[in-house]
Amino acid sequence: MTLDLTPEQDQLRDAVRALGRRYGHGYFVEKARAGEHTTELWAEAGRLGYLGVNIPTEYGGGGGGITELAIVCEELAAAGCPLLLLVVSTAIAATVLNRHGTEEQRKKHLPGLADGSQKIVFAITEPEAGSNFHRLGTVARRDGDGWLLNGRKCYISGVDEAGHVLVVARTEDSSTGKLKPALFLVPTDAAGLTRSKLDMEIVSPENQFLLYLDDVRVPADALLGESLDAGLPALFAGLNPERITVAAMGAGTGRYAIERASEYTATRKVWGGRSIGSHQGVSHPLAHAAVQVELARLMIQKAATLYDAGRDLEAGVAGNMAKYAAGEAAALAVDTAVQVLGGAGMTTEYGVATLLGAVRAGRIAPVSREMILNFVAQHVLGQDKSY
Ligand SMILES: Cc1cc2nc3c(=O)[nH]c(=O)nc-3n(C[C@H](O)[C@H](O)[C@H](O)COP(=O)(O)OP(=O)(O)OC[C@H]3O[C@@H](n4cnc5c(N)ncnc54)[C@H](O)[C@@H]3O)c2cc1C
């Protein structure tokens, strides 16, 4: 692993940073408050090739890896625009399709994901199963040459912006015993698929939904991959990209908050001529948060490098650790930024308290800090599973 980015990655970082700053956190919050989406930013990022950086060139992408996508996620977040759908649609759906979809599915969906004209969201979480995916209750039953899906999903992000939902179900004959998942590309306008928007305490233009699948009929080619055997590897294929890019978003958000706060504390004077940042009670918490964010960034780089080198198992450990570290660091950075800004920290104008909900959610989703600690305890420390 090298600490230096390649010249191309450096250029990508600078270019995405410039794009993000042109829009900025004000734009992100304005869209959220108006109940609108970041359509312009998404379209421009797609036109410039940033949404497809990790998609192979033959499907209209940039041919890069998760390292490149993590750069895009981090820099947009560092500009105050943390876009969760980059994780859901670009990191998860595009990777799963590319690695386990049929050639037809790749040709049909990847070019649209790359240019930003299409989004595919991802639905695994269920009200009853929660973190225990072995309890998934959404069932796919054969129906003629197609499938009939029934079940419930919750907290599904971006359904209102997407053309398809990648639904994780289990087939009827596997409803007892170990989870044998099957993934289905379900059009968001499919008959029998309904949704209701959840009210979330997160300032974001991206929304979460409850999804109801009542006898949703899909054709045979909606099943992801060549056969039912593609399900489990496809599900796992999405995990590392998800953890690495969501960590990058967290690190970017942490950088954004620390930058906002440092600018403020370096110039704010309430005790004579000295800035409040000269008081270590103010500067040390900020410096501590900066250290945590930087450590998380290092782990993200390690995880992305391992993933792009095809070392999936090691990337799994590093990706989980990166996600944990970045989730904690982002929450610490935003909370510290709010504190050192004083009353200004709670205003919309200074643009940090608006991120409190998002960074808090980042310690729960897409995988909670506790489930990561379980993973590390079992797979790194060799401890028995308690559940
Ligand atoms: C903003 C947001 C966006 C989301 N987007 C999506 C999406 O697009 N698609 C999707 O499928 N899902 C999405 N989710 C769902 C998310 O992945 C889940 O909320 C998360 O996996 C936790 O599941 P749960 O909420 O059911 O918590 P539960 O499983 O009910 O857990 C509750 C608490 O108990 C802890 N816990 C549970 N089991 C254990 C254990 N064995 N050991 C220790 N602690 C444990 C958890 O860590 C958590 O703190 C989103 C959630 C949020 C908040």
How many residues can be counted in the chain? 387
- Tell me, what's the pLDDT at 175? 55
Q: Is residue 156 in contact with ligand 1, taking CB distance under 6 Å?
A: yes
Q: What is the mean pLDDT of residues 23-36?
A: 98
User: How far apart, in Å, are the Cα atoms of 167 and each of 108, 117, 184, 235?
Assistant: 17, 20, 5, 10
- Tell me, what's the pLDDT at 3? 87
Q: Is the dihedral of CA 36, 39, 40, 45 positive or negative?
A: positive
Q: What is the mean pLDDT of residues 305-318?
A: 96
Nearest CA to ligand 1 atom 38: 131
The tokens describing 203, both together, are: 């300032």
Nearest CA to ligand 1 atom 14: 155
- Tell me, what's the pLDDT at 176? 59
Residue 179 has pLDDT above 90, yes or no: no
Burial of 270: CB neighbours in 10 Å, binned 0-12, 13-18, 19+? exposed
- Tell me, what's the pLDDT at 174? 60
Q: Work out the number of other CB atoms within 10 angstroms of the CB of residue 341.
A: 23
User: How far apart, in Å, are the Cα atoms of 102 and each of 96, 98, 185, 242?
Assistant: 11, 8, 12, 21
Residue 208 has pLDDT above 90, yes or no: yes
- Tell me, what's the pLDDT at 370? 97
Q: Is residue 81 in contact with ligand 1, taking CB distance under 6 Å?
A: no
Cα 206 to chain center, whole Å? 12
Instruction: Give residue-wise pLDDT tens across range 262-273.
Output: 999 999 999 999
H-type helices in the chain, by residue range?
A: 7-33, 39-47, 66-78, 84-85, 94-100, 103-115, 231-267, 280-308, 312-340, 356-361, 369-379
Q: Is residue 138 in contact with ligand 1, taking CB distance under 6 Å?
A: no
Q: What percent of the chain lies above the pLDDT cut of 70? A: 98
Q: Is residue 228 in contact with ligand 1, taking CB distance under 6 Å?
A: no
Backbone angles phi, psi at 149, to 5 degrees: -110, 140
What confidence category does residue 180 fall into, taking pLDDT thresholds of 50, 70 and 90? Answer: confident
Mutate to test the pocket of ligand 1, among 86, 119, 124, 125 (most ligand atoms within 8 A of CB): 125
Mutate to test the pocket of ligand 1, among 168, 200, 368 (most ligand atoms within 8 A of CB): 368
Instruction: Give residue-wise pLDDT tens across range 32-66.
Output: 999 999 999 999 999 999 999 999 999 999 999 99
Which among 299, 253, 329 has a CA at the least distance from the CA of 73? Answer: 253
- Tell me, what's the pLDDT at 172? 76
Q: Which residues pair with 223 in a beta bridge?
A: 184
Which among 118, 123, 134, 94 has a CA at the least distance from the CA of 193? Answer: 123
Distance CA 175, CA 328 (A): 36
Residue 386 has pLDDT above 90, yes or no: no
Pairing of strands 208-218, 274-275: unpaired
Contact status, residue 368 vs residue 362, Cβ threshold 8 Å: no
Residue 177 has pLDDT above 70, yes or no: no
Mean pLDDT across the chain: 96
Q: What is the mean pLDDT of residues 189-197?
A: 98
Q: What is the mean pLDDT of residues 224-237?
A: 93
- Tell me, what's the pLDDT at 338? 98
Instruction: Give residue-wise pLDDT tens across range 103-150.
Output: 999 999 999 999 999 999 999 999 999 999 889 999 999 999 999 999
Distance CA 168, CA 224 (A): 10
Distance CA 243, CA 235 (A): 13
Nearest CA to ligand 1 atom 4: 155
3-state class (DSSP) for residue 224:
coil
How much is the CA Rg of the chain, to the nearest whole Å? 21
Burial of 310: CB neighbours in 10 Å, binned 0-12, 13-18, 19+? exposed
Q: What is the mean pLDDT of residues 313-335?
A: 98
Q: Is residue 368 in contact with ligand 1, taking CB distance under 6 Å?
A: yes
Q: Is residue 361 in contact with ligand 1, taking CB distance under 6 Å?
A: yes
Residue 173 has pLDDT above 70, yes or no: no
DSSP 384: P
